[in-house]
Amino acid sequence: MSNSLKVSLQTTIYGLDDRGWSRRGIARKLGIDRETVGRYLRLAKPAISTAGVEEARAGRKSQCEP
């Protein structure tokens, strides 16, 4: 047996999280531990996103140039 959730269950966790569900609500709905839900959400999303920062910097440079 494996210690990981099936991909379909992981996808459901991410989908419910995107819709604003709480970790506790997701855990109840799916019948799994809420700490497991939290672990999958932490692993799936980066702690700090730099994508927006890079886009903002690039946007400022193009606006300042003549």
pLDDT, tens digit (0-9, with 9 covering 90-100), for 29-61: 999 999 999 999 998 876 565 566 555 555 555
Q: How confident is the model at residue 66 (pLDDT cuts 50, 70, 90)?
A: low
| HSE-up (13 A, CA, CB side) for residue 17 | 17
Task: Report how far Cα 42 is from the mean position of its chain's Cα atoms.
Answer: 7
Enumerate the domain spans of the chain. 7-64
Q: Which tokens hold the place of 11?
A: 């996808």
Q: Is 18 helix (H, G, I), strand (E, B) or coil?
A: helix
pTM across the whole model: 0.65
CATH number of the domain at 7-64, out of 3.90.1200, 3.30.420, 1.10.10, 3.30.160? 1.10.10
